[in-house]
Amino acid sequence: MSNSPATKRIAILISGRGSNMAALIEAAKAPDFPAEIVAVISNRADAGGLEKAAAHGIPTTVIESKAFGKDRAGFEVMLQRRLDEINVELICLGGFMRLFTAEFVQRWYGKMLNIHPSLLPSFPGLDPHGQALRSGVKISGATVHFVIPETDAGPILMQGAVAVGEDDTPEMLAARILEVEHRIYPDALRLVASGKIRLEGATCKTAGGAGSGDVLISPAIGQAR
């Protein structure tokens, strides 16, 4: 991980296996990466990602949300205390299955990132792959966005797309989209941490940003003839 004075201090919040967490940790090992992962925090003691983080030398913290029941504000007091203790500047959610109060989200507006496995604003919430297949879309993907009080919404930082196959199951589509998630989440964090993102109302603008130049057409034109 980079230890330059200019790097941003990042906490990753997880509830499960930490697949995207692992991708962020690997990316942050690059000498030129503008962010340092200083903590992984979970609301579940049995989250598989905790062991992965520890194996990379990342300090871990467990704040069991179950003990707080529906008291989201009480949980957030403990979470914020830990974030303050380690001087966290940006938060990345990596499969964190706990809703935040509007007050906590506003406190971290523009500084808390999430990734969702669909091309938002399409298919927010649960079962996005099933939603995509049932709707008959030909392209789906993943979205990195800033967090706002509404679920799976907020200014979009980056998206990546895949073609939806005629014979796809939700599991097949999820596996392909997960590969995209692992590519775009570190790239989106790099942009934010390096100060190349500016918020204009409800949209993100990227300094010097442009698309990849690739065109994704599904089904492929040759196959449609």
CB atoms within 10 A of CB 9: 16
Decide if 43 contacts 65 (C-beta within 8 A).
Answer: yes
Q: Which two tokens stand for residue 98?
A: 């706990």
Q: Please say if 116 is a catalytic residue.
A: yes
Interior/surface letters 143-173, b for 16+ CB within 10 angstroms, e for the rest: bbbbbbeeebbbbbbbbbbbbbeeebeeeeb
Amino acid at 71: D
- Selected catalytic residue, list 116, 129, 145, 182: 116
CB atoms within 10 A of CB 213: 5
Picking from 24, 44, 141, the residue whose alpha carbon sits closest to that of residue 91 is: 24
Picking from 103, 86, 92, 100, the residue whose alpha carbon sits closest to that of residue 38 is: 86
Nearest 5°: the CA angle 213, 216, 221 is: 125
- Active-site annotation, residues: 116
